[in-house]
């Protein structure tokens, strides 16, 4: 177990500590062991959910956002701190032989008037909410981008298979034409049409391969390791689509809305801070004066007081600036609330439209059967070559359209869940 591992560690640690070379080797080996142990949860990714979990743990944007949220918590500690006391002293020398010395010692405590500390704490609390909202936004975006990339990798493979199937058909038919001793003008024209179509489909592979490489590199950055698109780690085509859940919080968990609300609270705290800055800080504390005149010494006690006088201004400019900022933030928050309700209805419509089209559409197997039927009629001499090319084009276009609707449905589903601050479970 874990305790056994650490027991072995301490045993060898004390054995090696007096032998520097052996100790260095052991230390490096132990660090490598720890690194492999903590990174093991992202090894052998065998399901879509495991890939998504690994992405949510390792993506740089999530790590940065998490550090921002932690930094905001430290900011709250800094905001709640009170000013340290101040101490100052001065000594004055006089007399014929400088034997008269007066030393003054002042200790002052600062009292922040007008609620300055309270406004700082409120702002720091709002910064924490904003940091948490940014973290939630990063998690949602990484989840969505990773899931769409996995779907797209599977779709690209389907599209490549359709292209390769067309290329094999065109190459086979072209070979049959070229094997004939003589071609009629119509057959020669059909051969040229197949040759052009073959070159066109070869060009169709290029953007698909490029897009595949882009998604693989993006996933490599996301997961922090090379990603091999195993079939088990790619989402399968859905035969049935889930119903949209009832948003219990009515969209209150929306990270964008929470971030806008936090910005409003920050602006309101800044306005309170600007108002409190109109109040001066009171500095007050004890004073000790020590006098030495020859061989005699005297001590006096009292207090010191420092209070800035607001003769030139009462911070009206900063207060007006902060008031406009708070008004802007309130307007943004109200707009975000309306957008949230509108987005919910839009995502519902978008999801239902896409899933209805997918369910009602013919299956890929049916299309392949029709495609084989057309090729069979062509082989029997009942159809010309352009019909074969057209059926391949229609199959390719159908697969592409089907894939677009699938991505639309998945994106709508994830964003709909995110409105309530959740990420859907992916059950494949």
DSSP string over 376-414: HHHHTTSS-HHHHHHHHHHHHHHHHHHHHHHHHHHHHHH
Output the six-digit token pair for 227: 């990603």
Look at residue 39 and tell me whether its pLDDT is greater than 60: no
Output the six-digit token pair for 416: 């709909």
Output the six-digit token pair for 83: 């000013």
Return the pLDDT at 21: 52
Q: How does residue 250 score in pLDDT terms, banded at 50, 70 and 90? A: low
Rounded Cα distance between 138 and 140, Å, is 5
Ramachandran region of residue 49, left (φ > 0), alpha (ψ -120 to 50) or beta?
alpha
Range of 139-153, 220-234, 357-371 with top mean pLDDT: 139-153
Rounded Cα distance between 31 and 282, Å, is 54
Return the pLDDT at 370: 74
Burial of 165 from C-beta contacts in 10 A (0-12 / 13-18 / 19+)? middle
Q: How does residue 361 score in pLDDT terms, banded at 50, 70 and 90? A: confident
Range of 9-13, 66-70, 193-197 with top mean pLDDT: 66-70
Question: How high is the mean pLDDT of the chain?
Answer: 84
Strand-pairing partners, residue 103, are 91, 290
Q: How far is CA 427 from CA 52, 140, 155, in A?
A: 12, 18, 18
Look at residue 196 and tell me whether its pLDDT is greater than 70: yes
Q: How far apart are the first and last CA of the chain?
A: 33
Question: Do the beta carbons of residue 354 and residue 408 sit within 8 Å?
Answer: yes
Tell me how far apart the 2 most distant CA atoms of the chain are, in Å: 135
Q: Across 85-234, where does the E strand assignment appear?
A: 86-94, 100-112
Instruction: Dump pLDDT digits (tens) for 369-400.
Output: 776 777 777 676 666 667 888 888 888 888 99
Return the pLDDT at 147: 96
Look at residue 288 and tell me whether its pLDDT is greater than 60: yes
Rounded Cα distance between 297 and 288, Å, is 13
Sorted by sequence, the CB contacts under 8 Å of residue 404 that are 6+ apart come out as none
Whether the pTM exceeds 0.85: the reply is no
């Amino acid at each position: 177990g874990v305790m056994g591992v650490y027991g072995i560690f301490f045993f060898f640690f004390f054995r090696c500590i007096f032998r520097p070379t052996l100790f260095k080797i052991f230390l490096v080996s132990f660090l490598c062991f720890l690194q492999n142990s903590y990174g093991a949860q992202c090894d052998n990714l065998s399901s879509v959910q495991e890939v998504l979990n690994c992405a949510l743990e390792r993506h740089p944007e999530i790590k940065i956002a998490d550090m921002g949220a932690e930094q905001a918590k430290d900011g709250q500690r800094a905001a709640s701190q009170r000013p340290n006391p101040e101490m100052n002293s001065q000594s004055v020398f006089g007399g014929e032989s400088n034997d008269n010395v007066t030393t003054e010692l002042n200790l002052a405590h600062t009292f922040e008037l007008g609620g300055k500390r309270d406004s700082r704490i409120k702002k720091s609390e709002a910064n924490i909410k904003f940091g948490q909202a940014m973290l939630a936004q990063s998690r949602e975006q990484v989840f969505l981008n990773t899931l769409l990339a996995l779907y797209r990798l599977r779709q690209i493979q389907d599209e490549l298979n359709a292209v390769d199937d067309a290329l094999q058909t065109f190459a086979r038919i072209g070979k049959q034409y070229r094997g004939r001793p003589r071609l009629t003008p119509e057959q020669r024209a059909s051969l040229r049409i197949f040759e052009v179509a073959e070159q066109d489909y070869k060009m169709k592979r290029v953007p698909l391969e490029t897009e595949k490489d882009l998604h693989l590199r993006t996933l490599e950055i996301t997961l922090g390791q090379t990603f091999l698109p195993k079939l088990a780690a790619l989402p399968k085509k859905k035969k049935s689509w889930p119903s949209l859940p009832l948003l219990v919080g009515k969209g209150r968990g929306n990270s964008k809305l929470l971030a806008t609300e936090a910005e409003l609270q920050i602006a309101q705290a800044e306005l309170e801070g600007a108002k409190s800055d109109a109040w001066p800080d009171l500095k007050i504390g004890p004073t000790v004066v020590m006098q030495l005149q020859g061989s005699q010494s005297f001590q006096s006690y009292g207090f010191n007081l420092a209070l800035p006088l607001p003769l030139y201004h009462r911070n009206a400019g900063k207060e007006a600036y902060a008031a406009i900022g708070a008004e802007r933030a309130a307007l943004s928050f109200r707009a975000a609330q309306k957008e949230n309700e509108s987005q919910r209805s839009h995502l519902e419509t978008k999801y239902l439209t896409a899933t209805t089209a997918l369910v009602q559409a013919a299956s890929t197997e049916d299309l392949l059967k029709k495609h084989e039927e057309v090729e069979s009629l062509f082989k029997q001499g009942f159809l010309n070559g352009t019909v074969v090319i057209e059926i391949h084009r229609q199959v390719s276009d159908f697969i592409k359209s089907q894939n677009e609707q699938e991505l639309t449905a998945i994106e709508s589903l994830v964003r709909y869940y995110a409105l309530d601050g959740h990420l859907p479970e992916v059950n494949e």
